[in-house]
Chains A and B, each alone.
Chain A
């Protein structure tokens, strides 16, 4: 093989020049008893053509969402990434660069990330954004540890945060893992039967370090109550809001109703679903959190000639300087995916954003109308405003329904009993800008058929 190893065939010459005779000489410092003596028990190397063929065969066995009709969302959403984004992001200068520690030759990525910070800041209505965390769940988890660092001194409920009980268990698990080390107690905020936040429950959170809620919430509901939280909890308890960023083309920016930190899954901007990663987490905040926030930040500066220039700043929060006192252990983040997000947002512009949000929202309205007409199923939160998804209550289990729909080539949604074990008959149906009216008709027709089968069986 020389393709990846330019010095294949030159080993002996190079070794000789250094005064060695074999490659083994270069590993002579390994103690005898830790040396591997047998070849790695792995298959033989393949050529590029064979690798591509195998990749097509194996990945071809997956059911890509574009090849089926899909109503699966629940945190990751089907979207469209404009062609120019892929063309530009694979430019080697972006793709193959490291973290911009040498700003003089990294101005391109630094400026692009500073622009990303501005795009996110404007989107969510807060003055500061970092240049991405791993995903929405780690962004939320880091927000919770951050609000404790900021508010614990004045908090009457020390080391305590409140999180909506609707937050999915996998996301919750990430928060627990991040919070347990700091000894943070994670308490829950209750919800009403109509899926909205119980504001009495919010009163109990006043005096804690912060509350975390999502808008739209995990049931897809846009909850007016979320806009009233900050008035209830006051200035010494942080309001952290998790968002689906596309919704902010139509839905009020959380910064405008008192959110102190906004987080979310950036994926719908710029990144295909990719099996859930790599995607990127959004993290934006107001001034009081700046010096205790996680992640990298780019600042605009000048060079020695007074020319506009960009560099990483406020690095003294970070692990490579502050070590065990750092605000987070994050080093590698999701810069390139955030760059894809920036490109997508830049192309959309304000009107494109509003248009994209309207495509998502009207598809949701249409789907609610069509599905609510089916005998035997109901929409428990029909009168609420929804973004992307809504709950359908079925006459029998969602698992059964999904199996049936799968047999006719439809991914019908998400079985909510996986999150809420008592809701065995709840199906979370997700629609996005990619959903066609004919697909909604198809789902409605098959759901009607499935309901009628049920009646026969029963």
Chain B
């Protein structure tokens, strides 16, 4: 083990700093304000620090390490040109309060991204302010809330979500103060229009839904659901978590949605970074546009005197919508993430459709390959499709209920067995409508060879004897971690007192 708080070198610091501009004695804080004891931070030299974090990195699995078919997370390759661009001083070393004429390049990229996202989603206006998908949801819910307040329809206090929705949907709507009405899905995981009709009335503000749904199936009834909600005066929200499946093939606008968020860290390749940062811009139809938070960028032709700062003879400026809800993050959103995704978008241009097509191609191919390899090995009886459908979209589910009943092996066991094969495990136990669910999303950036090999290895894991599989993983840096122990014996920081 390499533990940060075991490093206790001599006094000093791990990187060299210049001297202060005045002697430290010039700092004369009143006693009540002066710190008495420095934090018990470790003392490491640079070589020790580099080795510690390198050691840690080797105990972590990323897309760069191997195939990462984590359903609903869109773990596609993160092009490295994006990282190079994000370190340019024109983004890394700029301050959000700099005047517009210092930031024309940034604003032009923001404008281009707003336009691209609007085009792809069929929306009229886009803000790049929200910094994560869940924050995008919250922002859109707030816009809808203010829209109705502005219209004198404050009796709309409910938000409808299907029971199969991502947990962030109800959490975001509740944070804005809405009552949540959960409607059950049909047995096959699809939206139940009768259940929807039964709860829709003039107290409903919004319905939140994702399409393809969390089973990876395209919900053909969504346009009809939109008509039902709209007829009662409500709004429709598209959770963009699954946008990677449909880009260039259809759009939330065509399906009847009024607002949508984008997960730039899913669809547009911002690295997930172990849990963030992300970026969650939202797009809305024109009737909601004046409620958006800034930053929103507008452009006009350049005027005399501005040429020295301008790019492409246009002038870009911040715009604050008339009824804006204000801010949900203090600055201009995750500008650095937007820049990375701009570079990604530029690689595809009008060919963004190819990206979605290959994502769907790969998902269907992997589903096919799993069945093919299982049949070849005579273990087809161990799992069934999570949903009955001719085609999946960018992800698909299987149920390992048959394996559980036949040999007592759970989806979690299989997941841990896959870790031993050098893969990240697919998502397990989501969505809940599929028993012993396993959800695969290969993304468009995996080769056919990888998909074929994974299918073979998956079937190999199915054939491991149950006792061994209950013990898996065996080859990982640690074996199954006791989450109950962690919760009962809370140790949330280094216990200095005990160990010294």
Q: Identify which of A26, A51, A104 contacts B480 (C-beta below 8 A).
A: A104
Q: In the assembled complex, how far is the CB of residue A164 from the closest CB belonging to chain B, in whole angstroms?
A: 15
The answer to whether A51 and B343 have CB atoms under 8 Å apart is yes
Give the distance in Å from the alpha carbon of A178 to the alpha carbon of B141 in the complex. 12
Residues A88 and B277 in contact, CB atoms below 8 Å apart: no
Specify which chain A residues have a CB less than 8 angstroms from the CB of B198 in the assembled complex.
Answer: none
Q: Is residue B11 contacting chain A, with contact meaning CB distance below 8 A?
A: yes
**Secondary structure type dominating chain B contacts:** loop
B199 CB within 8 Å of chain A: no
Contacts of B49 in A (CB 8 A): 84, 343, 346-347
Complex Cα–Cα for A235 and B227 (A)? 53
Q: Mark B309-338, 1 if CB is under 8 A from A, else 0.
A: 111000000000000011111111111110
Asked whether, in the complex, the Cβ of B329 is within 8 Å of the Cβ of A61, the reply is: no
Taking a contact as CB atoms closer than 8 A, the residue among B5, B108, B171, B476 that contacts A323 in the complex is B171
Contact residues of B between 47 and 80, Cβ < 8 Å to A: 49-50, 52-65, 68, 70, 73, 75, 77-79
A6:B447 contact, CB within 8 angstroms: yes
* Binding stretch for chain A, among B23-31, B296-304, B376-384, B398-406: B23-31
- Given A42-B350, A59-B105, A313-B490, A6 and B445 touching (CB < 8 A)? yes
> Which A residues lie within 8 Å of B255 (CB)?
34
Q: Which of B85, B351, B479 contacts A52 (CB 8 A)?
A: B85
Task: Give B452-489 as 1s and 0s: 1 = Cβ < 8 Å from A's Cβ atoms.
Answer: 00000000000000000001010011111111011101
Cβ of B481 and Cβ of A272 under 8 Å apart? no
Q: List B contacts of A414 (CB < 8 A).
A: 97
CB-based contact B131/A302 at 8 Å: no
What B residues does A168 contact at CB under 8 A? 330
Contact present for B5 and A118 (CB under 8 Å):
yes
Residue of A nearest to B494 (CB): A118
Q: Does B151 contact A (CB under 8 A)?
A: no
* A94-120 Cβ-contact flags toward B at 8 Å (1 or 0): 111111111111111101111101110
Q: Which residue in B4, B21, B78, B265 is a CB contact (below 8 Å) of A346?
A: B4
Contacting pair B346 A92 (CB below 8 A)? no
Contact A137 B4 (CB under 8 A): no
Which stretch (A12-20, A148-156, A374-382) binds chain B?
Answer: A12-20
Interchain CB contact under 8 A, A321 and B330:
no
Given contacts A96-B78, A251-B35, contact A222 B29 (CB under 8 A): yes
Residues A23 and B357 in contact in the complex (CB < 8 Å), given A347-B15, A347-B44: yes
* A5 lies within 8 A of B358 (CB): yes
The interface residues of chain B lying within 8 Å CB-to-CB of A385 are 29-30, 33
Is A41 a contact of B311 with CB atoms below 8 Å? Answer: no
The contact of A4 among B33, B85, B250, B444, by CB within 8 Å, is B444
Using known A-B contacts A51-B347, A76-B95, A173-B327, determine if residue A332 contacts B104 with beta carbons closer than 8 Å: no
CA separation between A92 and B274, bound complex, in Å? Answer: 10
Residues of the A chain whose Cβ atoms lie less than 8 Å from the Cβ of B162: none
What residues of chain A lie closer than 8 Å to B91, measured between beta carbons? Answer: 59, 62, 274-275
Tell which of B280, B328, B478 touches A303, judged by Cβ atoms closer than 8 Å. Answer: B478
Is A35 touching B249 in the complex (CB atoms < 8 A)? yes
A182's partner among B60, B177, B223, B489 (CB-CB below 8 A) is: B177
- Choose one: A297, A325, A361; the contact of B492 (CB below 8 Å): A297
Give the contact stretch, choosing among A186-194, A202-210, A352-360, A447-455: A352-360
Number of interface residues of B (CB under 8 A): 198
**Residue B43 lies at the interface, judged by CB distance under 8 Å to chain A:** yes
The reply to whether the CB of A86 lies closer than 8 angstroms to some CB of chain B is yes
C-alpha gap A135/B334 in the complex (Å): 10
Contact pattern, B 241-266, Cβ under 8 Å of A = 1, otherwise 0: 00000101111001100000001010
**CB of B361 closer than 8 Å to a CB of A:** yes
Q: Are A7 and B361 in contact (CB under 8 A)?
A: yes
The answer to whether A421 has its CB under 8 Å from any CB of chain B is no
Binary interface encoding of chain B residues 405-437 relative to chain A, with 1 for a CB under 8 A from any of its CBs, else 0? 000000000011001000011000000000000
Q: Does chain A have a CB within 8 A of B20?
A: yes
Contacts of B1-49 to chain A: CB distance below 8 A: 1, 4-5, 7, 9, 11-15, 17-24, 26-27, 29-30, 32-36, 38-44, 46, 49
Chain B nearest CB: distance from A83 CB in Å? 8
Please tell me if the beta carbons of B274 and A336 are within 8 angstroms of each other in the complex.
Answer: yes
Provide the bound-state CA to CA distance between A73 and B487, in Å. 41
Does A232 lie at the interface of the complex (its beta carbon under 8 Å from any beta carbon of B)? no
A67:B89 contact, CB within 8 angstroms: yes
Interface residues of A in 269-301 (CB under 8 A from B): 272-280, 296-301
With CB as the reference atom, state the residue of chain B lying closest to A350: B38
Q: Once the chains bind, are A351 and B17 in contact (CB under 8 Å)?
A: no
Q: Are B349 and A329 in contact (CB under 8 A)?
A: no
Q: How far is the CA of A311 from the CA of B103 in the complex (A)?
A: 42
Instruction: Tell yes or no: B500 within 8 A of A by CB.
Output: no
Asked if residues A252 and B274 are in contact (CB atoms below 8 Å), the reply is no
Bound Cα distance A322, B71 (Å): 20
Q: Given A97-B273, A104-B416, A36–B251 Cβ distance below 8 Å?
A: yes
- Hey, which chain A residues are within 8 Å of B142, CB to CB? 177
Q: Does any Cβ of B come within 8 Å of A138's Cβ?
A: yes
Contact A332 B35 (CB under 8 A): no
Q: Is A396 an interface residue (CB 8 A)?
A: no
- B228 CB-CB contact with A under 8 Å: no
Cβ contacts under 8 Å, A55 to chain B: 85, 88, 339, 343
- Inter-chain contact A96/B21, CB cutoff 8 Å: no
A227 at the interface (CB under 8 A from B): yes
- Segment with Cβ contacts to A, from B132-140, B230-238, B281-289: B132-140
Contact (Cβ within 8 A) B172 A273: no
Tell me how far the C-beta of A247 lies from the nearest C-beta in chain B, rounded to whole angstroms: 9
Is B305 part of the binding interface, using a Cβ–Cβ cutoff of 8 Å? Answer: no
A311-325 vs B, CB cutoff 8 Å, 1 = contact: the mask equals 101100011111111
The answer to whether B29 and A250 have CB atoms under 8 Å apart is: yes
Please give me the residue from chain A that is nearest to B447 by CB atom.
A6
- When distances are taken between beta carbons in the complex, the residues of chain B under 8 Å from A57 are 105, 311
How close is A223's CB to chain B, nearest CB, in angstroms?
8
Chain A residue numbers with a CB within 8 Å of B447 are: 6-7
Q: Which A residues lie within 8 Å of B12 (CB)?
A: 349, 351-352
Report the minimal beta-carbon distance from A265 to chain B, rounded to whole angstroms.
8
A51: chain B residues within 8 A (beta carbon): 81, 85, 343, 346-347
Instruction: Let me know if B368 is at the binding interface, CB within 8 A.
Output: yes
Cα-based distance from A288 to B31 in the complex (angstroms):
29
CA distance A107 to B94 in the complex (A): 34
Residues of B386-403 contacting chain A, CB below 8 A: 389-391
B368 to chain A, nearest CB (A): 5
Contacts of A345 in B (CB 8 A): 41
0 or 1 for each of B159-196: is its CB under 8 Å from A? (1 = yes):
00000001110111111111010000000000000000
The answer on a CB contact under 8 Å between A351 and B13 is: yes
Is A456 an interface position by the 8 A CB rule? no
- B60 CB to closest chain A CB (Å) equals 3
Q: How far is the CA of A35 from the CA of B356 in the complex (A)?
A: 14
Q: Does A373 sit within 8 A of B, measured CB to CB?
A: no
A133 to B389: give the CA distance in the assembly, Å: 40
Interface residue B448 (Cβ < 8 Å from any Cβ of A): yes
**Which residues of chain B are near A52, meaning CB under 8 Å?**
81, 84-85
If A42-B349, A303-B480, A336-B273 touch, whether A102 touches B35 (CB-CB below 8 Å) is no
Report the separation of the CA atoms of residues A361 and B23 in the bound assembly, to the nearest whole angstrom.
Answer: 11
Give which listed residue, A93, A121, A182, A251, contacts B29 with CB less than 8 A. A251
Choose one: A108, A119, A359; the contact of B56 (CB below 8 Å).
Answer: A108
CB neighbours (8 Å) of A279 from chain B are 331
Q: Distance in Å from the Cβ of A339 to the closest Cβ of chain B?
A: 7
Contact at B349–A43, with CB atoms within 8 Å? yes
Given A84-B15, A95-B78, A104-B479: A48 touches B347 (CB 8 Å cut-off):
yes
Selected A-B contacts with CB under 8 Å, 18 pairs: A15-B361, A17-B365, A27-B249, A40-B119, A65-B98, A99-B272, A104-B480, A105-B419, A127-B493, A138-B328, A138-B329, A276-B333, A299-B492, A332-B276, A333-B277, A349-B41, A353-B38, A365-B22
Known: A45-B347, A135-B331, A347-B49. 8 other contacts (CB 8 A): A30-B249, A40-B119, A61-B104, A181-B177, A222-B33, A332-B263, A335-B274, A349-B12
